[in-house]
Amino acid sequence: MRTDRRFCAGVATTTLAVLLASAAQAQSSAPLSGGSTPPGNTGPSQPSAPAQASADTVSDAAQDIIVSGIRASQRQSIDIKRNAVNSVDAIASEDLGKMPDQNVAESLQRVPGITIDRNRGVGNGVTVRGLGPQFNTVTVNGRVIATDTAGREFNFDILPSELIAGANVFKSPQANLNGASIGATVDIHTLRPLEQRTGFYGGGSLRANIDELGGKTTPSGAAYVTWKNESGTLGISLVGSYDERNERTDNFSVGASSYPRSFDDGYYGSVGASGGGLCVGAVTAGACAPRIDTSKVALFRNVDMYHNFGNTVEFSHRKRIGVDGTVQFKPTSNLVLTLDGLYSHDDEHYHGSGISPDFSGGTLVNQIVSGGSNTTELVNGQSRTVHVGGTATSETFHDGTVDMIVEDRPAKSTTYLFGFNAKWGSGPFTLALDVDTTKAKYDNAAGLFTTVRLKHMDYTYDRNTGSPLASFTVSNPGYANAATDVNHRLAHYMASEGQNLEDTINEAHLDGSYDGGQITVYGGVGYSSRTKNTTGFTEPNACAYCGSDVLLPSSVFTPTTYNFFDGAAGGNTSNWVDYNAANLFQTMIGLNSTADPKLHSGSLLPIVRDPAASSSVKEKVALGYLMAEFKGDLGNLPIAINTGVRIEDTDFSSAGTGQTVLSAKPNGTGQNVILLSGLTPLSFKGHYTDILPSVNARLNITPTLVFRTAASRVISRPTLTDLSPAQSITSNPGNERISRGNPNLQPFRASQAEAGLEWYYNLDSLLSATFFYKSIDSFITRGVSTQKVDQVTFVIDQPVNGKGATVKGVELSYRTLFKFLPGVLSGLGTQLSYTYTDSDASYTNAAKASTSYSLAGLSKNSFTAVAFYEKGPIQLRASYTRRDGYLVTPQTQTGVPEFSDSYDQLDAGLQISLTKNFILTANATNLTDSKEFHYANVIENTQEYRRTGRRYNAGVRVKF
């Protein structure tokens, strides 16, 4: 706290000094041009390119130049950065509409300092200067938008690039910027009709999307119209899009990650004597039912091995509709009224089908261990050789079980935002009122996790494949082709994965400014109310058939021809059987009355709401700010400074119900039977106030060389569902876990500073370097501890406040056009960016004595190289991105950290203008066929290895 006070005092002192100096020079300094006003503010927090200037100051001819071509969009983004006082980077509309990007996140990855998180080939979150999506705020026209995910993190997948006019990334905050955070604020702006040409204009596009791995082709399209009357007082715009994708991902995953096991840790039963020999398993009436065949497998201690793994093919069939509309009216010369709305609906059916061994059954008859050493121990009165340490790279089980696992999630999500803005100006005064309401709903009540079992199986896995994959071979002595056989499948496990989310935000802001010439003063107040409701669902008797003794009809199953990873892993499990989870559920409901009651434990029941997995979290924020901006000279050098303070007062509450595990025991058939307590109502409240000073400065050393610096105090609030008391309990052997929220979380708080040089050596070129430093007082991470109930040990997983972290680094950026080259070569250009980031974070981890890693989501090195060509009717662009590996989470199911390996990808796009208004397009994503690879603790221990393949689209674009 003492450091925080010193930092805040320093910024406050700087603020006062700047204001006094500004007043002293007010009569002798010449003003500089500054940024223009964002939709919901009167301040300069959203610099605008010429294309967004007033209709009274931009001619139609100028508009034609600004909105056409990669060159114009590059110049536009350079102008935005140059004119801003704080640190801002931008993507112009040309970039968003004409790259082979699946959403806005993938367009933003070309901004210096930004990397993106990918999930199954799609960019779904941005990391700015090493800080992940939870640290960054995304606004639409200056407004925070509700999210259809469990957290605050914005789901970029709801915003196709066709709906967007541009985006600004504010890396240093200022007092009047809504949604400031530790990482950055990404403000996405939509079309404003009064900023367009007079008259009626429009256009559209149609394209076919091709998924190489899944072999599916789907349609997408978009259309827009904009109209402004001759007097420039009334304008209307409407943008609509439809996007359908049917994509496949091959995923080798290790559910609970690798973990050290020992022959006598209880996982393989008890250690006893049988017939004068050693029995690891169970001894009944003097006979041994072994889990480890000690005549073939050496005893072992602390050998790292898989708990489980699976070959899974995932299908995602998405249909997304997006609409954005705006009406603007200018009844007088000094009043502009804007009414706008955004709507997005996503219908996605996820189907995952996999084959997986169940290590909790069968007898281990062969084991190959890499590393470690032998020692001698006295085991049950016998001297035995015991292998200590190392990694089990191959194991064979006899008379074990193999599962078919299918997950079905037929989810729908809807997001909307409606806003009204009134902006009035008279002389030096401006006043703006902005109100909005936004809601996001995610409906997945019918989500199912199902398991069908094969018994009496022999199987072998081998990790020595030369890749992150493991080979998997299964057989049954009673029938052939066991992986694809449909006649011997047994009912086993049926659970709900259903969850509904609803996020509602209501906001109002009143902002004003007074332009005193060289000094402009800004002030404002605001209020927001946010409620995040979570509804969980459960199958009350999920383990009714866990004895796996009830035969399922063969008609439920279909043999597949998936050829998992093109057979690269080896073994005989590239194909298996698939089924519809909802049909299986109904079949098992029917078995309640037709199957022998002795073969199952009660009846499977209808899915019901789970009170313990449901909650409501509410947050109310009242804020006020005061900021001054000075434009003048420092000696003979033009300077612009804004400095101010923002105060935010936060109240939150959370409510739900809780349960505890009273009893947990293995049932001997591969499942744990748990007994839960009754429901207990839970409620929590919290309050905190933050004073957030900031200062930004831009100094023009020469007409082309700019020095920029900034310092601020910032916060990022906890994810709302992390404050929830809701919990989920998983009881599968090897995956015993209780996950819950933590209402006692404190927000992320940090002090930060940066400084950089920017060289604008011509209108189309920029070479820049920025150094940045962030000191994070406390961050939020996942805390893992253990709790033993009877014979079962559960991992307790909940968010906790970490001890602190530092982030420091440098951004380098270079953009230029090679207009000096002769002839057709003069159409070449490039955009290059590189970011080096270093951090040190301390994590709480029960599995390790002390842990210190880079902050989760942070890659030490990342870079992007874009090469483009634009000449005549041809436009080409290729984009290569690469990021180093990074920490995914400090603790997995077994307490060890999970990392992502480095990732690179090449995308490309081609555009041919047959006429001015008819354009052919073709784009390719992931031409490198890159795979996503996560590992647990060490790179030899695969956690997930995913292949999405290459994806293409081709189509036409028209304008009128």
User: What secondary structure does DSSP assign to 804-856, as a single string?
Assistant: -EEEEEEEEEEEEE-TTS-GGGGGEEEEEEEEEEEEEEEE--TTSS-EEESPT
- The total of other beta-carbon atoms located within 10 Å of residue 788's CB is 10
The predicted model scores a pTM of 0.86
The reply to whether 449 falls in a domain is: yes
* Position 392 confidence tier, pLDDT thresholds 50, 70, 90: very high
Higher pLDDT among residues 347 and 267, named by residue: 347
Whole-number Å distance between alpha carbons of 734 and 795: 10
Distances (CA, A) of 248 to 37, 102, 316, 905, 946: 44, 15, 6, 18, 10
pLDDT in tens, 185-213: 989 888 899 998 899 988 888 999 999 99
**CATH value at residue 123:** 2.40.170.20
Instruction: Round to whole Å and give the CA distance between 471 and 438.
Output: 49
What pLDDT score was predicted for residue 127? Answer: 78
pLDDT-derived band of residue 691, with 50, 70 and 90 as boundaries? very high
Q: Which residues contact 188 (CB under 8 A, 6 or more apart)?
A: 104, 138, 139, 140, 141, 159, 164, 166, 167
In 3D space, the residue among 762, 753, 626, 634 whose CA is nearest the CA of residue 698 turns out to be 634
Looking at the domain assignment, is residue 297 inside a domain? no
Domain membership of residue 832 as a residue range: 2-257+308-362+402-455+491-552+562-959
Residue 601 neighbours by CB distance under 10 Å: 16
Residue 669 has pLDDT above 70, yes or no: no
The dihedral built from the CA positions of residue 124, 171, 704 and 65, taken in this order, carries a sign that is positive
Q: Residue 162: helix, strand or coil by DSSP?
A: helix
Buried b (16+ CB within 10 A) or exposed e, 945-957: bbbbbbbbbebeb
23 CB burial (10 A radius; 0-12, 13-18, 19+): middle
- Comparing C-alpha atoms, which of 445, 403, 444, 406 is closest to residue 584? 406
Q: Is residue 25 part of a domain?
A: yes
Residue type (1 letter), 485: D
Phi (first) and psi of residue 691, to 5 degrees = -105, 120
Confirm if 770 and 780 have CB atoms less than 8 A apart.
no
- pLDDT on residue 375: 95
Q: State the pLDDT confidence band at 118, using cuts at 50, 70 and 90.
A: low
- Note whether residue 373 is domain-resident: no
Tell me the average pLDDT of the chain: 85
Q: Over 50: is that where the pLDDT of 738 sits?
A: yes
Mean pLDDT across 533-550: 92
- Lowest-confidence region among 109-118, 496-505, 867-876: 109-118
pLDDT at 394: 96
> 375 lies in a domain?
no
Name residue 645's beta-bridge partners: 626, 693
Cβ atoms within 10 A of the Cβ of 477, count?
A: 10
Specify if 394 maps to a domain.
no
Query: Using an 8 Å Cβ cutoff, are 748 and 736 in contact?
Result: no
Assess if residue 541 is contained within a domain. yes
Question: Residue 463: inside a domain, yes or no?
Answer: no
Per the structure, the count of domains in the chain is 1
Q: What is the CA radius of gyration of the chain?
A: 30
CA dihedral 548, 553, 555, 557 (to 10 degrees): 10
For the cut 90, the answer to whether the pLDDT of residue 178 exceeds it is: no
Is residue 123 within 8 Å of 690, Cβ to Cβ? no
